[in-house]
């Protein structure tokens, strides 16, 4: 299994499949690169080099106590990309990973990144503040932290209901998909899982979105119960210069089923333009 060591000595796991133009995929919290397995194969099958990493503290990467913040995540990604000497690069991020790739592209990706894709992404800012009154109150994120600390295993099991929209009438998400979320969640280091809540909820990506000078495809389900579309994609599209927004009716936060099938075809179409 390939590993890369960052400048602060953190081992980052990644998978690298296929040949052609490179595409980096960044996962959501508290998951790992395994969340992108279908897309990695799809991209490789369609002539791309697909690379997906486990964020520090997550999956098979080092179980870090420090550096669990968005600036460090973006720096880790930049160092991985530089080590692989990737150019003419597309970056794709889901949820927290959407924030990571937006910050990377805006602050580190000049001359390398040509396209950005986000799905259910956290930018521009999730937390309710005086300047962002439509955001979610801090109590929501305090509840997540409390759940992670008190019984992370049970918390991740329960989180799958809202994550995949399994609590909605007619939901077709499988028990296997929910168990896979739990399996990946149980690999994350507790300190990393706890600190990442602050990273994904309190990081303000407004200026990163404004700084992007490459095309960005913003995908979001209108029934996303984790990252509400009104606080995220509908605001992000107003901040970027070369943005395309697609809203997926009835789609949840988790990428699965019919939503995944449609999104994957949209990803291929956007990359081909």
Cβ-Cβ contacts under 8 Å for 54 (sequence gap 6 or more): 12, 13, 14, 27, 32, 33, 60, 61
Tokens representing residue 269 in the block: 């179409």
Model confidence, pTM:
0.97
Rounded CA-CA distance 32/137 in Å is: 27
> Is residue 253 flagged as an active site residue?
yes
Quick one: what percent of the chain has pLDDT higher than 90?
Answer: 100
Catalytic entry in 27, 224, 231, 236: 224
Burial class (CB in 10 A: 0-12, 13-18, 19+), 9: exposed
Catalytic entry in 33, 61, 95, 256: 95
Rounded CA-CA distance 1/76 in Å is: 18
* pLDDT of residue 1 exceeding 70: no
Catalytic entry in 27, 58, 94, 253: 253
Helix %, strand %, coil % of the chain (to 5):
45, 20, 35
- Classified by CATH at the fold level, domain 3-272 comes out as Rossmann fold (3.40.50)
Rounded CA-CA distance 124/45 in Å is: 33
Would you list the domain boundaries of the chain?
Answer: 3-272
What pLDDT, in 10s, does the model give residues 138-189?
Answer: 999 999 999 999 999 999 999 999 999 999 999 999 999 999 999 999 999 9
Tokens representing residue 123 in the block: 């930018």
What pLDDT, in 10s, does the model give residues 3-51?
Answer: 999 999 999 999 999 999 999 999 999 999 999 999 999 999 999 999 9
């Amino acid at each position: 299994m390939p590993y890369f060591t960052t400048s602060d000595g953190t081992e980052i796991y990644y998978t690298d499949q296929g040949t052609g133009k490179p595409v980096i995929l960044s996962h959501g919290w508290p998951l790992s690169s395994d969340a992108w397995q279908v897309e990695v194969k799809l991209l490789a099958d369609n002539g791309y080099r697909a690379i997906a990493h486990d964020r520090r503290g997550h999956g098979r990467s080092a179980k870090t106590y420090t550096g669990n913040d968005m600036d460090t995540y973006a720096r880790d990604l930049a160092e991985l990309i530089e080590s692989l000497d990737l150019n003419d690069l597309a970056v794709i991020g889901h949820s927290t990973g959407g924030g990571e790739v937006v910050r990377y592209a805006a602050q580190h990706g000049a001359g390398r990144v040509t396209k950005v894709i986000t799905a259910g992404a956290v930018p521009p800012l999730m937390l309710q503040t005086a300047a962002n009154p439509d955001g979610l109150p801090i109590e929501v994120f305090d509840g997540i932290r409390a759940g992670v600390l008190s019984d992370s295993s049970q918390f991740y099991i329960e989180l799958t209901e809202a994550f995949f929209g399994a609590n909605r009438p007619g939901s077709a998400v499988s028990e296997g998909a929910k168990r896979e979320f739990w399996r990946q969640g149980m690999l994350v280091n507790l300190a990393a899982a706890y600190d990442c809540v602050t990273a994904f909820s309190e990081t303000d990506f407004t200026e990163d979105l404004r700084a992007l000078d490459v095309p960005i495809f913003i995908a979001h389900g209108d029934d996303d119960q984790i990252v509400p579309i009104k606080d995220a994609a509908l605001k992000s599209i107003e901040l970027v210069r070369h943005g395309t927004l697609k809203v997926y009716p009835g789609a949840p936060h988790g990428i699965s089923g019919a939503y995944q099938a449609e999104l994957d075809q949209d990803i291929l179409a956007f990359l081909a333009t």
